[in-house]
Amino acid sequence: MTNRNCPNRKPRVLLIGNSAKTSVTETMQRVEQIVAPHACIVGKVLGQHTDELIMGDPDLIVVLGGDGMMLAVGRAMGDRQVPMVGVNLGKLGYLAEFAVQDLADHIEQILDDSEHVSTGMMLDARVESDGVQRFHSPAMNDCVVQAGPPYRMVELAVFVDEEPLTSLAADGLIVSTPVGSTAHNMAAGGPIVQRGVDALVVTPICPHSLAHRPLVLRGTQAIEVIGVRVNEGTTIAVDGQISTPFKESDRLVIRAFEHRFKLIRHPDQTRWHTLLTKLKWGTRPEARSQR
């Protein structure tokens, strides 16, 4: 990472790119040319290095990659959340809304207009074994209990604010944020929740019951999951990127993280644009060709 002094009052911008993307080096050079006349670039990073994110002390982070990179950077910022603008080099680009040309067209608005900054709740996930915390991570999308090998159903006891909610036999359980409701949660049949709403979405994965349906809870509540019967490979996965084993009698506690992530919205797109154009929500089936 390169550090540069910022003698003026220009915004401090960090560029971070996913080194797994083949075009990231060339794209970062182009983005630097776009940003440099308007801001002070405090560093350029290829990878996901938490210490470097904090050392740069940026006012804005430009993330080059896809949604996965956005999730990794959001988690890495922890309690020092600053606005992120995503330049999509991936496939979907649900969080990374900008193309390089979009960034060029809107760079002054991005840097000067706080109207385009949206915030959203994150999760705080903690795992305890024998009363001792051994895992802790924020999450932007979700925290998932996955059955794992040998792929038998697991039994989970679920509590809300320390009150019993249910005993669940299933392939797992998803607890997601509203922004994460369009990820694993949606694929498992859970509801789509509008960004900006403070809510916890609880969705069983293939439950062995017709009675277990997804549940939306207030964002102020705490969800506790205890492993009653689990597999050798049962894990807790955070944002689909980091994981930890989940053993019998382990305790997973999920609540709202004390800090909120910050994303720069595309100035030319409505709040529903990505849902409609990329996830095709509400799209009618195409008519069959007439013969």
CA–CA dist 159, 179 (Å, integer): 23
State how far the Cα of 18 lies from the Cα of 71, in Å rounded to an integer.
12
Burial class from Cβ neighbours inside 10 Å (0-12, 13-18, 19+) for residue 45 reads buried
Q: Reply yes or no on whether 239 is catalytic.
A: no
Among residues 39, 68, 43, which one has the least CA distance to residue 57? 43
> Out of 51, 67, 102, 239, which one is annotated catalytic?
67
Active-site residues: which are they? 67
